[in-house]
Amino acid sequence: MKLRLLIPLVATAALLGLLFLGLGQNSRDLPSPLVGKPAPPFALEALEDAEVILTEQDFIGEVALVNVWATWCSTCRSEKPLLMELARGGIPIHAFNYRDERDAALRYLSVSDNPYRTIAYDPVGDAGIDWGVYATPETYVLDAEGVIRYKRIGPLTRQLLLDEVLPLIERLRAETPRAERRARQAKRIAPS
């Protein structure tokens, strides 16, 4: 009889527990189906020069970050010092300038630091859809073969870099020689 009285108590506690777990979850932290897939193709003007057309091949070659940013996005501004640190540390960072105005973006970069190696100009969010961009800022990690290995929706933090991004980059860099060896072997096997 006493056990039966406990049932509502246990059920309520379980429900509260579930709700509490739900509170801790960020509803924007959605799993990206693009992780593990090759970088989606695109063809966009370079931000600095409309004559130059950049494609996904310009992002591929070594382990790199791809950052999606815009001047109207204040979170992007606040994460830029971290990107600067990464860039100074020798990690290549490519970027999509997303739904922005070229003049504003160039002015912004001319008066502050520029952590980006290549910037593709995406004023209408064309590549944005192909890359599954939700909202700026977003950051991808590409391995040397151009496969997306990580995606962060929202700003990078120092903690996130230390816990997830930097260890991943280190691991991917260690993998790279092996990948190059494989590619060389494949080339040798294939008739030239």
Alpha helices in the chain (DSSP H): 2-24, 74-88, 102-111, 126-130, 158-160, 166-189
Quick one: 46 or 135, whose CB is closer to another protein?
135
**Between 10 and 129, CB nearer to another protein:** 129
Nearest distance, CB of residue 179 and another protein, angstroms: 24
Residues interacting with another protein, by CB under 8 A? 27, 30-34, 37, 40, 99, 124-126, 128-135
Beta bridge partners of 46: 120
- Contact call for residues 123 and 101 (beta carbons, < 8 A): yes
**Tokens encoding 159:** 């903690």
Q: Write down the least CB distance from residue 130 to another protein, Å.
A: 7
CA atoms lying within 13 Å on the CB side of residue 137:
22
For residue 129, the minimal CB distance to another protein (Å) is 5
- CB nearer to another protein: give 17 or 40: 40
Q: How far is the CB of 124 from another protein (least distance, A)?
A: 5
Q: Of the candidates 151, 192, 137, 191, which has an alpha carbon nearest to the alpha carbon of residue 40?
A: 151
H/E segment holding residue 80: helix 74-88
CB of residue 138 vs another protein: minimum separation in angstroms?
Answer: 11
Token couple for 38: 């090759």
Between residues 68 and 106, which has the closer beta carbon with respect to another protein? Answer: 68
Q: Closer to another protein by CB, 7 or 189: give it.
A: 7
State how beta strands 138-142 and 64-69 pair: antiparallel
